[in-house]
Amino acid sequence: MHTPNNPQTRSNYLLGFSRLITGLLFIFSGLIKANDPTGFGYKLEEYFHVFGTHFLNDYSVTIAVAICGLEILLGALLLLGFWKRMVAWGLLLLILFFTFLTFYSAFFEVVTSCGCFGDAIPLTPWQSFTKDLVLLALILVIFVNRAQIRPVISNGATQLVITIALIVLSLGIGIYTVNFLPFIDFLPYKKGNNLPKLMTLPEGEVGDQYEVIYTLKHKTSGEQKKVSDKTYLSDELWKDEQWEIIGDPESRLVKKGYQIPIPDLLITDANGDDFTQQLIENPYYNLVVVAWDLDKTNREALQRINALVMNAAEAYNIRAILLTAGSTQDAERISNELDLLTEIFYADAVPLKSMVRANPGVLLLQNGIVIDKWHYNTLPDFDSLDKRYFGKAYENE
């Protein structure tokens, strides 16, 4: 009989605690990323760029789905106690890999967010690295004591069936959300959001505060020193003709302020004229087709969307635009080839990727509010949209 002070009992408690926390955290992390593997794939492309493995970009979403599925699977198997040696090795190798990535990102400041919990819980690289160190400690406890893990079900055939089901489920979630849309949209362009409000600093809030650093050189002694813009003005150094500013001033963040959810959306026409406000704040229904990468966009889907646009324009004169990060030449070429009826406008790829996780995808806007959004695989036909939105709006006029 073991007493509470028995080392073996304490070891079992520590192992049980480590299994519970690690298993739940891996499942949670995997599910959050599997909710939006396309977004996680964009984050992986940042790492591919850092390490010069650009050839993996075309497989980023597939790799994202696999990593999400592996996290869910390992977490579930750990809690169930199945395949303990393989699971322990898998967890150890995976956390060592993640710890290396987060440390590299934090130390060299190359990736601003690791994407560990997708867009649901953004973490800084140092926060991610700290989280991985804690997980590494827990997984080392599991690895050292892996022989003590006991499965909740001892029958080998049953374990195999459950494991196969877990593999199908863990991969199936990511595959589904890639081909449709995330179950939960954590991005600023989600359904119901007012985009103009998310593009401006709310009253009473203060944005990031910066100071400008000047490098000064004394004309006689050659002495150099750095001073802030406040010191430069308060000490009236600008009056002293012996000091001259050399080089370009540096901007340094002094205090982190309120972060505008949509800070980077600028929509222009082919001439570079700003149409952001006109298009986003259109008081009538506005169909926004997002095809950020024209080289990889689904052309068959664009043709289906074009048919929808044609019906909407004929019945209600609804404005439809195509937003892309592609070149003017590519946009005009595809527009001519497919006889697109949409007006063409341009924006940076970063906000377009956040608008809808599809290429192409469609947003329905009115008065700056996202009324609805669709992946090209779930886009309803005109009759459905007419009954749900268009017809009701014009009946009320």
Confidence of residue 391 (pLDDT cuts 50, 70, 90): confident
Q: Bigger pLDDT: 228 or 11? A: 228
The tens digit of pLDDT for each residue in 118-137 reads 677 778 888 899 999 999 99
> If you search the block for the tokens 């599925």, which residue do you land on?
69
CB atoms within 10 A of CB 63: 16
pLDDT at 330: 95
Contact yes or no for 309/287 (Cβ under 8 A) = yes
Cα 54 to Cα 99, 118, 276, 359, 390, distances in angstroms: 22, 21, 32, 20, 44
Contact yes or no for 286/249 (Cβ under 8 A) = no
pLDDT at 392: 67
Of 200, 376, 379, whose CA–CA distance to 276 is shortest?
Answer: 200
R_g of the chain, CA atoms, integer Å: 27
DSSP 8-class letter at 202: P
Query: Which token pair is 346?
Result: 């341009």
pTM, to two decimals: 0.85
pLDDT at 115 over 70: no
Give alpha helix (H) positions in 81-124. Answer: 84-108
